[in-house]
Structure 1
């Protein structure tokens, strides 16, 4: 009787074990990163035991945008339902529309694979919950979009490339676009529901980001190259545990920042190369009322071993920083000689932003000629917004505790230029062995700065 009872139980246990063993799941590893502040371990998804799912098994055909788009979507759906899977893009060029990732999915591009994204705006409809320069809205889908995903990755040695036929025309920001900007600004300032902020209309021409991880957790972007972009290239937004490594970015269009971490935390960006039409790395945390509502700082971000070939700044902080930015560490980065760059580090804000900046550490940076200087801090940067829209609520930005160590450039106008505000001076800026072979203007140009130290 006892043996008869145990045998079915044992058989059931063996079958259950076999089922669990065969069903591939995403595992999560912890990555410890050194920083001059308390840095939490970053959780990184591991797809090494997950089943590979080539898009050709789902009907993808080179040169056929519709079939390839549908095949990618089917493969992503199957990988998600399986609890983990690697959607494989084989060698060759694959024309596609938008790609919407799901949890527990790794989009993997084999060596020689090119995902070529359509230039037609209608391929990025219906509108999705996204952002435009720090304000939430409904707009064209990012070319690759992940919304509320957990354990998601884009990996491989292939290339993601955007066709710019239409987007490059939209770079111009005509009158209709400026009207759309004004409308969105007023809606956000008045706390209108995001669902009412519909920007795919009236020729507003709000270009989408290339890759956006929106409210995601445990994100890996590794190995791929990214070429061209309608707007910001890589945009982790309200996301936590993000690793971006060994990525090559080439994008010289308008607003083509390389990476824009925004209201995101626990991030590592390493071993990447940026060749940009705008800032290489621009850390942000939302704009004005929207960011005050969301109340989430960008925090615990480490950037190391990166190379910049062109860009406006190596590291920009702001101007969308209304949620606050703290605990940022950049180490061992290089700007190649001949690159066109305005600053190595540029912190920018204005009287509408609020937020704060603190605990910024930049060490071991080498650069050639810089058009402006090594460190710039400006508190009245409004660009076209100065006359475009009014100030709803005035909030200044406290900026303090910025440390640069072992930074060198060949030719600059200044070492540091800090333009604080009389009623809220910038505080505690320390430069340790920050030098340039040639300084065209003055070493230090300062207004409203308390506690400055420079030692060589």
Structure 2
């Protein structure tokens, strides 16, 4: 795979290098960001392209929403056309983001974080789903729509995100959607904004998250599979997911499943997790509007300290609508072993209902 140094295509530190990066990607191969700070708009990856950010190199992304074209995406578990993720790939094979440099989303309360959710756009999207509007017609104009994910491969095969440091994302940070064979290894996430989940496999299969570090404003690792009616329409579960040898220093749940898991989550194994200062070590959350089956989670060799709420929370009534919905979820076969929790108000919380009981929970 040939190296394509972005400076060979006209990139200069401190300037807008969007065109130079796009040209290097079009040439194919390994696109290299050298030491220095380079400014850029959204990046669209193609098959057989590796974006490599060298040690001492930084890609700092624009924060003007109108700089981001409208693309097919999934936002909070619902498909639509909205602002492009900062790094995006659609329908590609063998894409990678690597290197020990920094990806800086530049998000703050002065830009992306100033409005955590545009209510009118969100209400419009929910209504479109209930009215059966096709995804191709759920299109937001530039400047409307939603805060984008940072890194989102969509319908891709063989995805690798390795070693990079990612800071200050507009929304979810690493967010593969409908992908297979995903490796997220050695990544450092430092992003404390609203909804800044660290890594969200969303209706993905065969995922390994290994040796990563998470300091986040929301859940650290959160496994998803679509929301409510739209998630059931797509009906693609997340399955065969391994989380190993990771560190978690801020966030709601270190390892979370849900709440957008209407397509189901099957087969998650976690081991060797080191947690300090999150709300929960393990959190599974869903409700009767979501539906779906969450099953076969095993977690072992977990050390947690300074948890603010409980070591383990499993609820089938998270944000339960009133009256309850017509799609009670199933949560079953959860096994947790060798969990050491220091200084936590509660060890286990299970909040369920006769319509959606938690079944087959084992802890030893």
TM more than 0.5:
yes
**Aligned equivalent of 2:139, options 198, 204, 210:** 198
2:8 aligns to what SS in structure 1?
helix
Give the secondary structure class of the aligned counterpart of 1:305.
strand
Asked if residue 335 in structure 1 is aligned to residue 279 in structure 2, the reply is no
* Residues 389-428 of structure 1 mapped to structure 2, 5 A cutoff: 394-428=326-360
Alpha-carbon distance in 2 for matches of 1:403, 1:159: 37
The two structures have a TM-score, normalised by structure 2, of 0.96
Q: Please, which runs of 5 or more residues in structure 2 have no aligned partner?
A: none
- The yes-or-no answer on 1:245 pairing with 2:200 is no
Q: Which has the higher helix share?
A: 1
Match of 1:167 in 2: 112
Counterpart contact for 1:189–1:288, Cα < 8 Å: no
Per-residue deviation, residues 25-63 of structure 1 (Å, max 9, x unmatched):
xxxxxxxxxxxxxxxxxxxxxxxxx10010111111222
Deviation at residue 378 of structure 1 after TM alignment: 1.2
What do you get for the CA RMSD once the two structures are aligned? 1.5
* 1:189-230 superposed Cα distances (whole Å, 9 cap, x missing partner): 3331112212336x6551010110111100000111001100
> CA deviation digits over 1:219-260, x for unaligned, max 9?
000111001100000001000000000110000000000000
- TM-superposed deviation, 1:181: 1.2
- Where structure 1 has 5 or more consecutive residues not aligned to the other structure, the ranges are 1-49, 80-84, 433-456
Counterpart contact for 2:335–2:361, Cα < 8 Å: yes
Alignment of 1:76-225 (within 5 A): 76-79=25-28, 85-125=29-69, 127-164=70-107, 165-171=110-116, 173=117, 177-200=118-141, 204=144, 206-225=146-165
The TM-score with structure 1 as length reference comes to: 0.77
**Regions of 4+ moved over 6 Å:** none
Shift of 1:102: 0.4
- How much has 1:292 moved relative to structure 2? 1.6
Taking the aligned partners of 2:23 and 2:356, their CA distance within structure 1 comes to 54
Summarize the alignment of residues 319-334 of structure 1 with structure 2, pairs less than 5 Å apart: 319-334=259-274
Counterpart of 2:314 (choices 362, 374, 377) is: 377
8 Å CA contact 1:237, 1:264 repeated in 2: yes
Contact 2:304 2:341 in 1 (8 A): yes
Contact 1:179 1:204 in 2 (8 A): no
Structure having the higher Rg:
1
**For residue 449 of structure 1, what is the aligned residue in structure 2?**
none
1:98–1:143 CA contact under 8 A, matched in 2: yes
After superposition, give the CA deviation of every residue in 1:305-361 in whole Å (9 maximum; x if it has no partner): 00011111111110100000010001001013xx2x221111111111111110001
The alignment of Structure 1 onto Structure 2 pairs a total of residues equal to: 362
How far apart, CA to CA, are the structure 2 residues paired with 1:207 and 1:309? 24
TM-superposed deviation, 1:158: 0.6
Contact 2:247–2:273 under 8 Å retained in 1 = yes
